[in-house]
Amino acid sequence: MATAAQSPTSQTTNGDTHDLPAPAPTAKKGKGKKDKQLSAEENAKLVQARLSQLEQEKAGDKAQQAEIDREVKKAIRDLNELINGVEPLKGIDLVKQKYEELLAEMKKTEREHLRAKKSRDQYQKEAEKSKSEHNKTTTMKDKLEKLCRELTKDNKKLKDDNKNLVEKEKRARESINERLDQMLYDVQEAMNSKTSAHPENLHLELDELFRTRCKVLADQAEIREMHFKSILRHKDAEIAHLQAKHEVERRRADTEAARCRTLTGQVGTFSHTEAELRSQLNIYVEKFKQVEDTLNNSNELFLTFRKEMEEMSKKTKRLEKENLTLTRKHDQTNRNILEMAEERTRDKEDLERLRKQEQRMRNIIKIMQEQGRGRPVQQEAVDEEGTESEYDEEFEDEDEDDEASYEAEEELATEIAKPVFGPVPPPEMVAAKANGQKTATAALVNGIQH
The residue ranges of the chain whose pLDDT is under 70 are 1-40, 43, 191, 193-203, 294, 296-299, 301-302, 373-450
Contact 120, 271 (CB under 8 A): yes
In a domain, 281, yes or no: no
**Helix, strand or coil for residue 449?**
coil
Distance in angstroms (rounded) separating the CA atoms of residues 27 and 34: 11
pLDDT, tens digit (0-9, with 9 covering 90-100), for 83-95 = 777 777 777 777 7
**Domain presence at residue 344:** no
Cβ–Cβ under 8 Å, residues 164 and 18 = no
Residue 311: how many CB atoms within 10 A of its CB? Answer: 10
> How many angstroms separate the most distant Cα atoms in the chain?
203
Q: Evaluate whether residue 45 is within a structural domain.
A: no
Q: CA 23 to CA 5: how far, in whole Å?
A: 19
Task: Check residue 177 and give its pLDDT.
Answer: 80
> CA-CA distances (angstroms) from residue 342 to 285, 346, 347, 349?
75, 6, 9, 11
**Three-class SS state of 19:** strand
CA 396 to chain centre: 72
Q: What is the pTM of this model?
A: 0.31
Question: Could you say which DSSP state residue 423 is in?
Answer: S
Do 106 and 285 meet the contact criterion of CB atoms below 8 Å apart? yes
- Domain for residue 277, yes or no? no
Q: What share of the chain is helix, strand, coil (3-state, %, to 5)?
A: 90, 0, 10
Residue-range definition of the domain harbouring residue 370: 349-447
In this prediction, residue 337 carries a pLDDT of: 92
How do residues 339-361 score in pLDDT, each as one tens digit? 999 999 999 999 999 999 999 99
Q: How far apart are CA 307 and CA 318, in angstroms?
A: 16
In a domain, 272, yes or no: no
Please tell me the predicted confidence (pLDDT) of residue 209: 78
Q: How many domains does the chain have?
A: 1
pLDDT of 129: 83
124 Cβ contact list (under 8 Å, min separation 6): 267
Does residue 235 sit within a domain? Answer: no
pLDDT of residue 402: 53
DSSP string for 298-336: HHHHHHHHHHHHHHHHHHHHHHHHHHHHHHHHHHHHHHH
CB 253 within 8 A of CB 141: yes
In this structure, is residue 371 part of a structural domain?
yes
Q: Which amino acid would we find at residue 86?
A: V
Who contacts 33 (Cβ-Cβ below 8 Å, separation ≥6)?
A: none
385 within 8 A of 444, measured Cβ to Cβ: yes
Is 39 inside a domain boundary?
Answer: no
